[in-house]
Structure formats: structure tokens, C-alpha cells
């Protein structure tokens, strides 16, 4: 089903995570992967390139490929991942409370953000994420209703991304994110267990499908003490 280079990538990732390829150790050479898997060098190189981009390994010309230490700054809440997927990955105790779910005509700001045309409506979904009994995150999502039709309470409580990908058959492609720190709004104070904090960390993003169409704008507002974003970058 998968391409060869993706399955080799997956094999190596799981061997790194299991410690079969330990941190700081040298990975087998490209040619030994060629032999072991009976594939061409270019295909091996595609797998290693993927590992490199995702921060698993580091390649040095003439020396080899080395497993990086990714325990120091743990997981990527970065990337394009849904709240449900994150909760499952981190094994959190979480509950989602739906505050608003309505189909409405967009205001001028949303028309601009979602590139809407006359007459198109948007789904506005406001959800509160409760973790370990505390209301920590306020998620405000706006979906172009041309692409995301028929939302229900059940879908919003479970996973909207799952619905879009599995039921509607759309493929989610890429996103832009922006992280800022803003003063608490009245809505934040009302809906979150904000304690004495007077600011929130805000992640604003636009999300596109594989074919390039923009379908979602979202604003995720986090209690500042519970917010963490990690990133891996290379010098270019």
C-alpha cells in the first residue's frame, strides 16, 4: 500500500523510538539499507531525508547518519495535528465542551480570512477543552460550509478532522500558524478556568486541503501556564 520509502521511514522511526537505534548512535549506511531491503539507493535516501526533516537524524558527509536526541525538548505540538490526535499521543485526560455550533453568514473579517464569496456561510464552532478537570483551552473554529457540511454535536465532540478526512473524503494538506500573546478577553475569563492570569497564548491558523482550497480558520486560546509549542529548524 505505502510506498517503499515511507515504509522504510516508518521502520526506522519505530526502531529509534524503541531504542534499537539509540540516541547519538550511527545509523547503518545507505548501502546497507539497500541490501537489507533490496531497494535502490535513491529510495533509501528519500527515507533518510524524511527522517532528517522531522528531526530524527542528522547526516554528515563522509561520516554517516546519526540519531538525534529528541528527548530534551519533547514532542511536536507543532506540525499539522488535531487536538484529538495530540490528546491521544500525549495520553491526556481530556473532555471537550461545546459552547457554540452554528451556521451563520460571515462578517467582513471572516470573508477576508476564509476567501469567501457572496452568499457562502460558515460553521462557527466554539469548544472548551478541559484537561485534568481544568478548562484550559478555548478553540474557536470557522469552516467554509461549502466543504464542511452537516456538522453535528457528536462530530464536534469527537474529531472534526476525522469527519473531514474519513467521512467527507477530503484530504487535509497544509496550514499556516501564528503564535501571539494577548490580553484575556471577557469570553476567555467567562469560559476558561483562567485563575489570576490576565493574558492568553493564541494560535491562529488557516488550514488548506490537499488541492489547495482554504477551508478553515481557527483561533486556539490557551491559559498561559499550560501552553507549550516546540519546533525543529535547520539552517539554510
Q: Report the interface residues with DNA, using CB under 7 A.
A: 3-6, 27, 29-32, 38-43, 45-46, 48, 59-65, 211
CB 140 within 8 A of CB 204: no
| Cell numbers standing for residue 177 | 500558524
Site for a copy of itself in 4-33 (CB under 8 A): none
CB-wise, 68 or 101, nearer to a copy of itself? 68
Residues 6+ apart with CB under 8 A from 201: 179, 180, 181, 221, 222, 223, 224, 227
CB-wise, 37 or 232, nearer to a copy of itself? 232
Place of cell 494577548: 182
Place of cell 488535531: 82
Q: Return the bridge partners of 129, or none.
A: 96, 137
Place of cell 527522517: 51
Q: Rounded to an integer, what distance in angstroms lies between the CA atom of residue 143 and that of residue 152?
A: 13
Return left, alpha or beta for 202; rule: phi > 0 is left, psi -120 to 50 is alpha, else beta. beta
Out of 4, 58, 84, 134, name the contact with a copy of itself by CB under 8 A.
Answer: 58
What is the smallest separation between the CB atom of 37 and DNA, expressed in angstroms? 8
Residue 176 interacting entry, from a copy of itself, DNA, none, C-beta within 5 to 8 Å by type: a copy of itself
Q: Which parts of 105-198 are beta strand (E)?
A: 122-131, 134-144, 172-183
Residue 231 interacting entry, from a copy of itself, DNA, none, C-beta within 5 to 8 Å by type: a copy of itself
Site for a copy of itself in 85-114 (CB under 8 A): 113
x/- contact string, 193-232, with a copy of itself (CB under 8 A)?
----xxx-x--x-x-x-xxx-----------xx-xxxxxx
Place of cell 451563520: 104
Site for a copy of itself in 153-172 (CB under 8 A): 171-172
Q: Binding residues for a copy of itself, per CB under 8 A? A: 53, 55, 58, 60, 66, 68, 70, 72-73, 78-80, 113, 171-182, 197-199, 201, 204, 206, 208, 210-212, 224-225, 227-236
Amino acid at each position: 500500500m505505502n510506498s517503499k520509502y515511507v515504509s522504510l521511514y516508518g521502520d526506522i522511526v519505530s526502531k529509534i523510538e524503541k531504542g534499537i537505534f539509540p540516541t547519538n548512535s550511527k545509523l547503518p549506511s545507505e548501502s546497507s539499507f539497500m541490501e537489507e531491503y533490496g531497494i535502490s539507493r535513491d529510495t533509501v535516501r528519500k527515507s533518510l531525508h524524511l527522517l532528517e526533516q522531522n528531526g530524527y537524524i542528522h547526516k554528515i558527509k563522509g561520516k554517516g547518519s546519526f540519531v538525534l536526541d529528541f528527548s530534551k525538548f519533547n514532542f511536536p505540538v507543532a506540525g499539522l495535528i488535531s487536538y484529538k490526535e495530540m490528546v491521544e499521543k500525549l495520553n491526556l485526560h481530556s473532555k471537550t465542551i461545546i459552547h457554540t455550533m452554528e451556521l451563520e453568514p460571515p462578517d467582513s473579517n471572516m470573508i477576508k480570512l476564509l476567501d469567501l464569496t457572496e452568499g457562502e456561510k460558515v460553521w462557527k464552532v466554539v469548544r472548551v477543552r478541559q484537561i485534568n478537570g481544568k478548562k484550559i483551552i478555548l478553540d474557536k473554529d470557522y469552516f467554509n460550509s461549502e466543504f464542511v457540511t452537516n456538522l453535528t454535536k457528536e462530530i464536534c465532540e469527537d474529531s472534526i478532522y476525522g469527519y473531514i478526512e474519513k467521512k467527507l473524503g477530503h484530504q487535509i494538506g497544509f496550514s499556516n500558524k501564528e503564535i501571539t500573546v494577548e490580553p484575556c478577553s471577557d469570553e476567555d475569563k467567562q469560559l476558561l478556568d483562567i485563575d489570576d492570569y490576565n493574558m492568553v497564548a493564541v494560535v491562529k491558523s488557516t488550514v488548506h486541503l490537499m488541492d489547495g482550497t482554504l477551508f478553515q480558520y481557527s483561533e486556539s486560546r490557551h491559559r498561559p501556564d499550560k501552553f507549550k509549542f516546540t519546533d525543529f529548524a535547520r539552517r539554510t
